[in-house]
């Protein structure tokens, strides 16, 4: 009867010759760890991409809201004054628009400085004859501090000069565009009254 040792050696040699080596526990652990690392890396990549996309989406939404939301609003009426009392609304006298502005609820401060060439309020006029951009205006601070920022609780009165070459006739429709450096554009659509007076309150 062959000894147990020689019998085990014979089976081991047969397994080696057949290529049926058994896998060890260490190799199994290495493979499992590799799978875990790959899965973790993939999950981290997917999570990071999702967070990045969500953040960019949030920024886009906030930028869009800031773009369309108004930062200024008109307090009172738009006043049109025939300075020279000549019965014509044009730049001869020159005739002027007068409007009082404040910040909208939740709106950011708006720079209103006629002397500034960038990031300030721009006023345009549109009528049946065309569009004139960058009207000249002056500012009277009805309520506010010494700076040129229209802030919460402040009131700025704008006196806007009629541009050269423009005449507003009776019953003519026109628009004033007030464009701040940020936020939405405010458009004031008005209709001239049937008769020209020295001071006209255009609701």
- Model confidence pLDDT, tens digit, residues 186-201: 999 999 999 999 999 9
- pLDDT tens-digit profile of 40-74? 887 878 777 877 777 777 666 555 555 545 588 99
Q: Where are the domains of the chain?
A: 4-67, 72-202
Report DSSP letters for 81-123, one per residue.
E-TT-SS-BSTTTT-EEEEEEEEPTTPPPEE--TT-SSSS-EE
* CA 50/CA 143 separation, integer angstroms: 48
* The pLDDT value given to residue 70: 56
For domain 72-202, say whether CATH 3.40.50.1820 is its number: no
Q: What is the pTM of this model?
A: 0.67
* The pLDDT value given to residue 18: 53
């Amino acid at each position: 009867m062959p000894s147990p040792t020689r019998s085990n050696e014979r089976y081991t040699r047969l397994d080696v010759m057949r290529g049926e080596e058994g896998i060890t526990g260490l190799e199994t652990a290495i493979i499992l760890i590799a799978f875990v690392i790959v899965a973790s890396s993939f999950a981290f990549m997917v999570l990071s991409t999702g967070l990045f996309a969500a953040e960019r989406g949030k920024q886009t939404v906030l930028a869009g809201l800031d773009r369309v939301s108004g930062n200024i609003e008109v307090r009172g009426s738009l006043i049109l004054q025939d300075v020279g009392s000549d019965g014509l609304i044009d730049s001869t006298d020159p005739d002027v628009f007068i409007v009082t502005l404040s910040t909208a609820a939740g709106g950011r401060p708006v720079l209103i400085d006629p002397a500034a060439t960038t990031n300030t309020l721009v006023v345009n006029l549109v009528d049946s004859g065309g569009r004139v951009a960058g009207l000249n205006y002056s500012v009277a601070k009805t309520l506010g501090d010494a700076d040129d920022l229209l802030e919460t609780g402040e009131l700025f009165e704008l006196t806007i000069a009629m541009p050269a070459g423009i005449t507003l006739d009776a019953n003519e429709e026109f628009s004033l565009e007030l464009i701040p450096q940020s936020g939405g554009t405010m458009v004031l659509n008005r209709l001239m009254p049937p008769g020209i007076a020295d001071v006209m309150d255009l609701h």
